[in-house]
Amino acid sequence: MVYVAIIIFLIVIAIIVKPRIEIYHLKQKYRQLMFLSSMEQAEKSLQLQIQRLKVKYPGRTEKWYIEKVIFDLERDRR
């Protein structure tokens, strides 16, 4: 019974932590694409773009907005 509880606990932790890790990596990718050395600059710039997208595409997840910003940035550089 203890093993089942431990397994359930680990699954719950993985479900909670994984999206945060993905968002962290997406933000790092954005910072690299924008050639910004400061995390603060990158965060401000990203949040501004996310706010604009929230008006245009309401109700999406934070991950979706960041992926959209990165997609648009990569598309515009082609």
CA dihedral 76, 63, 20, 42 (to 10 degrees): 40
Q: How far apart are the first and last CA of the chain?
A: 56
Asked whether the beta carbons of 68 and 53 are under 8 A apart, the reply is yes
Tokens of 59: 């109700």
Rounded to whole angstroms, the Cα distance separating 6 from 21 reads 22
User: Does 1 have pLDDT greater than 90?
Assistant: no
Q: What is the pLDDT of residues 7-26, one digit of tens each?
A: 877 777 777 767 788 888 89
**Backbone φ, ψ for residue 24 (5° rounding):** -60, -45
Q: For residue range 24-61, list pLDDT tens digits in order.
A: 889 888 888 888 767 788 889 999 999 999 999 999 99
CA 28 to chain centre: 9
